Structure 1
Amino acid sequence: MADIAVRHRTVEVDGITIFYREAGPVDAPVVLLPHGYPSSSFQFRHLLPALADRWRAIAPDYPGFGYSGLPDPSRFAYTFDAHANLLQRFVDTLGLTRYVVYLQDYGSQLGLRLAMAAPQRVAGLVIQNGDIYPEQHGPKYEPLKRFWRDPTDEGREQLAAAIGEEGFRREFLGELPDRLADRVSPDLWRLSGALVTEPLRRDAWLRLVADQGSTVAWFPRQQEYLRTHRPPTLIVWGPHDGYMPEGAARAYLRDLPDAELHLLDGGHWLLETHLDEVVPLVRDFLDRVQP
């Protein structure tokens, strides 16, 4: 019987302790799982063992998130650029040279930059509610876009007000229909909420949220990467998402016309509500790109 146990490990990357969850044989094809906001590798706690019989699934916590180190901002900037560079160094530190990348939420930005930095390493992409087409943004983006256009102190205070357990609860439940809401574990918002009671950590998260507008300039470059390299891609999407509705998923087909698209009856956090549907889709895709 295959060992599907999830292992909990740390590694030093540029002097920062990075915690990561890993499951599967060390010599198996790799699936890299960068997490979304406001979460950590905990969001992949069910997917990791579901893949571990045949693949090596690896989910790191970013600096300041989960169980990773919390370096001073003088050492680590807590911007998207800094996190993207750190993810690349994490991959190099573990010696990973070929992988499928799971792209969701903030993890889609970091994962795409990883793919762009070394396209030859990318066996495929799984895209799940991670958007790069601003004209398809949902209405929930508007408060963020106001801050991007005019980053005032007042706007920053409004962003800060959402960094806490109640704000996280709203993020995780989002626009889910009531019939699905009880599938989402309250551990998600309570664990994240407990972490940001520490002022330095809360400040680190605020720095990253406030920097989100910097990702917009990357969208055309990311679209060009997809058009040019055409990585094998599975798109699995929950359209009950105020940030990323159905159109945000379909927009990928402009640049990836051969991508496989599945719209499930869920929202932004499909691994909580539709794990039993996502897993066979991902396994079938991995069988084809990493046999």
Structure 2
Amino acid sequence: MHAKDLLLAGVIAAGSALPASAADRSPPVHYRSTDIQGVNVFYREAGPQDAPAVLLLHGFGASSHMFRELIPVLATRYRVIAPDLPGFGQTTVAPGVTFEYTFDNLASVVDAFTARKGLDRYALYVFDYGAPVAWRLAVAHPEKITAIVSQNGNAYEEGLSEGWADMRKAWASPTAGNREALRRFNTPEMIKWQYTEGVEDTSRIAPESYQLASAAIERIGDEPQMDLLLDYGRNVQQYPQLHAFFREYQPPTLAIWGRHDPFFIPAGAEAFRRDNPNTEVRLLDTGHFAIETHGGEIAETMLEFLDRNIER
């Protein structure tokens, strides 16, 4: 038997020796897609169909791949669904379909997606761009939101760092030159930096995370990302509506935040308490992509939070 055959036999034997309880602990994750408004939405789904639902929304420089380790943990007790937003990951716009990349349109697709999946009530996990998408859903359908987990998903202007200076300039004056100045945010080097900045031990960051994000931008093109960077200013303009939602409905909220995020600073996490007394804040010693370095802690904290606040 050749050496590679011996190695393969050893791997198979090791896998078959795993206890059944370890192999069966989590429900399987399914990888599916569905057409929504001419957009082929790719999504990951796991967990019992009759369990309380949790919708996971990723952000810039990512896709539902960022939830690859969180989904199996949550799916032991919840129905978990994580779509790729238009312009990201495996989601594609059908040939001949004109799609304008705005946060209003991203929210429209996700809203229709939740209806397609029968999500009448669901908790939200939001990160980065996923936050303004989710905020639109919450304002439009407050009765559907059971709880909110925000992992560096901003909702207050004081949460925006000085790193937004170029974006603010482009929002105020959307000239061709100001738009072009934002293109650097889509480079592989900048994507990687957003994963590693503020992380003490960068060996904990799996390189395929930022490599896959960069590959998606190269495949899809960076113009959709440029459009979204320019459109982000509208999210800030809509904050007052969101804050009114928080004050009226006060959904159980967990702001679990990488304190060294170069874009969304801890003040943004603390600000949730101003309008929603049902907010818990937890700051982690990491950067923007906190789930990459503290995924186990986030999963454990999130399960405890959801178990305590969601009725079954």
Q: TM-score, normalised by structure 1?
A: 0.94
Q: Deviations over 1:50-80 (max 9, x none)?
A: 1111111110011221111134696211111
1:289 corresponds to which residue? Answer: 309
Residue 191, structure 1, aligned to residue 229, structure 2: no
How far is the alpha carbon of 1:39 from its aligned partner?
A: 0.9
Counterpart code for 2:126: L
What does residue range 131-280 of structure 1 map to in structure 2 within 5 Å? 131-176=154-199, 179-198=200-219, 201-280=221-300
Counterpart code for 2:41: I
How far is the alpha carbon of 1:283 from its aligned partner?
A: 0.3
Aligned mates of 1:149, 1:174 — CA distance in 2: 27
Q: Contact conserved, 2:40 with 2:94, CA < 8 A, in 1? A: no
Structure 2 gaps, min length 5: 1-23
**Pick aligned residue for 2:118 from 75, 95, 98:** 95
Q: Contact conserved, 1:162 with 1:168, CA < 8 A, in 2? A: yes
Q: Deviations over 1:201-255 (max 9, x none)?
A: 3222221122111111111111111011101111111110121122111111101
Counterpart code for 1:233: T
Q: Percent identity?
A: 37
Aligned length: 288
Aligned mates of 2:197, 2:96 — CA distance in 1: 30
How far is the alpha carbon of 1:37 from its aligned partner?
A: 0.4
Moved more, 70-79 or 281-290: 70-79
Aligned mates of 2:241, 2:26 — CA distance in 1: 40
Q: Contact conserved, 1:70 with 1:201, CA < 8 A, in 2? A: no
Residue 47, structure 1, aligned to residue 70, structure 2: yes
Q: Contact conserved, 1:64 with 1:71, CA < 8 A, in 2? A: no
Counterpart code for 1:256: N
Partner SS state of residue 67, structure 1: coil
Counterpart code for 1:186: P
Runs of 4+ in 1 over 3 A off after TM superposition: 71-74
What does residue range 13-92 of structure 1 map to in structure 2 within 5 Å? 13-71=36-94, 75-92=98-115
Counterpart code for 2:281: L
How far is the alpha carbon of 1:104 from its aligned partner?
A: 1.3
Alpha carbons of structure 1 residues 85 and 73: separation in structure 2 relative to 1, 3 Å: farther
Aligned mates of 1:240, 1:251 — CA distance in 2: 17
Alpha carbons of structure 1 residues 53 and 186: separation in structure 2 relative to 1, 3 Å: same
Partner SS state of residue 251, structure 1: helix
2:152 corresponds to which residue? Answer: 129
Aligned mates of 2:287, 2:277 — CA distance in 1: 23
Q: Deviations over 1:101-157 (max 9, x none)?
A: 012101011011111111111111111111121134212111211111221211111
**Which structure has the larger Rg over C-alpha atoms?**
2
CA RMSD across the alignment: 1.6
Aligned mates of 1:168, 1:222 — CA distance in 2: 29
1:118 corresponds to which residue? Answer: 141
How far is the alpha carbon of 1:88 from its aligned partner?
A: 0.3
Aligned mates of 2:223, 2:96 — CA distance in 1: 9
Moved more, 80-89 or 155-164: 155-164
Alpha carbons of structure 1 residues 55 and 111: separation in structure 2 relative to 1, 3 Å: same
Structure 1 gaps, min length 5: none
Partner SS state of residue 236, structure 1: strand
Counterpart code for 2:172: R
Partner SS state of residue 43, structure 1: helix
Partner SS state of residue 33, structure 1: strand
Q: Deviations over 1:12-42 (max 9, x none)?
A: 1123211001111122111100111011101
Aligned mates of 2:96, 2:142 — CA distance in 1: 30
